[in-house]
Homo-oligomer: A and B are copies of this chain.
Amino acid sequence: MDPYNPVPNPLLVVISGPSGVGKDATLNRMKEMGYPFSFVVTTTDRPPRPNEINGVDYFFVSTAEFERMIQDGELLEYAVVYGQYKGVSKAQVRRALDSGQDVVMRLDVQGAATIRRLAPEAVLIFLSCESEEELTARLRARRTESEEALRARLALARQEMERLPEFDYIVINRTDRLDETVETIGAIITAEKCRVRQREIAL
């Protein structure tokens, strides 16, 4: 590394954490603020929620198409979450990294663990919130799920919280302080860019 002109490698940043902590809201705010990252769009076979746009929030594909992508090894990681597929296209990530762009993706805890195995040098950020009560309140406020689905999410969240040691960083996404969350993530990325021992992503 040239001490007068250190050139950082592009980063692969994973924003993860249990559902309800605010992964989507965090990434959306990062996009709004014009952060110069390449944001990965997750592919899923679940039906879009109201207001979700294909190619922006997710790539919505049929179950058959998703299974073809698995077969053809086109996915960097995929998982079945609540009976639905979610995955990340390998080509999309490779293209961005090759062009020197930092890549940011949102993944559930299971998916983040897969990325850790495939790309040990990825930056894994665990998003959390102030308390389990707050997490419950946020999930309840969504009103998109039955009580049964909510209980299942909470049970899963408890298990996922225990996987924190697999991550590099933890950021508490406090209620009504989304900008602070985004700034903290920005600081983590700035710091990673200054590391003397740069991370090397090989996919």
Contact = CB atoms under 8 A, between A and B. Distances in A.
Chain A: interface size category: 20 to 34
B191 A167 contact: no
A190 B165 CA distance: 19
Interface stretch (A32-40, A124-132, A141-149): A124-132
Residue picked from A129, A165, A170, most chain B C-beta under 10 Å: A170
Interface stretch (A1-9, A54-62, A68-76, A97-105): A1-9
A188 B184 CA distance: 10
B4 A129 contact: yes
Given A3-B161, A170-B3, A190 B184 contact: yes
Determine the main DSSP class of A at the interface with B.
mixed
A32 B161 CA distance: 39
Contacts of A194: 125, 169-171, 184, 187-188
Interface of A: 1, 3-6, 125-126, 128-132, 161, 164-165, 167-172, 184, 186-188, 190-192, 194-197
13 contacts: A1-B164, A1-B170, A3-B161, A3-B164, A4-B128, A4-B130, A4-B131, A4-B132, A5-B130, A5-B172, A164-B196, A165-B196, A169-B191
